[in-house]
A and B are shown apart, each in its own frame.
Chain A
Amino acid sequence: MNYTFELACKDTLKQPYLSTLIILTISLGIAACVITYGLIYLMSADPLPEKSDRVLHVQLDNWDPNKAAIEPNLPPEQVTWQDAVNIVAAKQAKYQAASAITWGMVTPTQKTATPFLGVMRATHGEFFSMFNAPFLFGVPWQNNLPNQAQYVTVLSKDINDRVFAGENSVGRTLSMLGSTFTVVGVLDDWHPSPKYFDMVYGAFSKPEELYIPFQIKAELSLPHGGQTNCWDTSLSDNYQSFLNSECTNFELWVEVENLTDISDFEFYLSSYVEQQKQLGRFNRPTNNKLLNIKQWLKYKNVVNKDMYAFFSLALLFLTVCLFNAATLISTKFASTRHEVALRNALGASQQAIFLQSLIQALILGILGGLTGWLLSLVGLKGIALLYPNFSTFLTLDFALIGFAMGLSILSALFSALIPIWHLSRTPIAKHLT
């Protein structure tokens, strides 16, 4: 057995160009498959695996009675200020938080930090617990009563590094938006990819730099970031009329305790809409949509459909490469047929020869797989360069490495078995001529 293995290794080294060509051919096919599959796998990864089926995105249909918000008859993807405030205040789920992007000047009093324009998320305190945002220091604030505004803030790690030089800044003050805020918490690095809780600026956009209580947005009349959609155009110019309007600008998410609570929450939502109808709002038929994270990602087509096409093309490409490698391995075997015949004639068993070929083919296949894996690393790096937004999640995890290795071994067997099957059908006498 050892002898057979040694012979196989020697044979592999015997024609270095041919061996390299075989390895490269297999590796190209594998790299193409791993890269395309990797993109699909990484893009569709569950961003909150512990509870993605219990964290729900809320949509209500408050749109124009004559026209759907999104064809065919779909509700808008965000909710109005009043619905956000009402539903969060009703506390019908374990956690509930509405949020919206806004911005404003941050003017630190620290001598080392320069003023800058901060991109902020105005939200409720339960946002952090619901989405498992990791805290480096401190804790989130509590969900406030609707008309109570606390001047507190949670900072991202970047901002804490920039303003407070990375120290524990909990309890210190930060002046921004023309007021003074107390820091209650600092997040650790946090780049949910896809950024499922708000994909208005793209599914792989960066998270915001600072977090402030939802009510502060109204208190300070902060600008409406993200996407604002309106259908009722008889809107006056002041800020409060926007808050009272049917314009949607707010992402609304809730987390329920158990899966069985989802139907209760659905029931609450329809009774809420019923109650609003009595007040003259919601003039379309009730059309609430409650999607969990996975359904929401699917609804938003986070994985571009092209990716599936590329993966199927890559699989076919791999097949071509394997057929090719099989031909090349056959050529390699053919060039040693005299040697094989000689060994046969000297009494080597058919089995030993078969084993030697098998080992040689497997060595080539596995080397091809390894090279392919390295190539796919390079390829994914290249894609991250080409599309910087992808760089936060483009890393090979264990599952993906497992996929690459499994594919390599299967490919090696496939490309080796064709020539061996062919070889084993060739009578010995033919080689001896």
Chain B
Amino acid sequence: MKHSVTLTINGAAHTVEVEPRALLVHVLRDELNLTGTHIGCDTSQCGACTVLIDDQAVKSCTVLAVQADGSAITTIEGLGTPDRLHPLQAAFWEKHGLQCGFCTPGMIITAVDLLQSNPNPSEEQIRHALEGNLCRCTGYQNIVEAIQSAATALRAAKTQPRPAQPAAAPSQPATAGV
């Protein structure tokens, strides 16, 4: 028997009929077509499926969709757009914090959570916070740098007299390749 579940995803309310066993990640990807959230394992190790549930980073492969009923979810698609990147997205781009890009959405979402609770993390704290997110391409070094860079940008944005949108990215406009 299917259950009706209402989720506020990236600001918009969705009601979906799901099997009790359906994982949140499958509902996001298969029912709602939010394929930016990836599946890299089946044991909650890799973190590619990390989303924000009520502002907390959660591995969406570890949550039944019915458990998420009534919650607010942010996926990578809701974080920023190419024209208006979240500072973490901009910093991952700027610092070459990704190669194949498969782990990247989960990395960025995890970093959002980290910087909410710790706006000025040390390298060690960042590396610790990423323990639940695996990357096979980058060796993590540029991911750490990207998070440090975004943290700096976010702190600077907070101290600005004009409280702006998170558009205070440390990088060039989205079209700039050079």
Decide if A and B are genuine partners: no
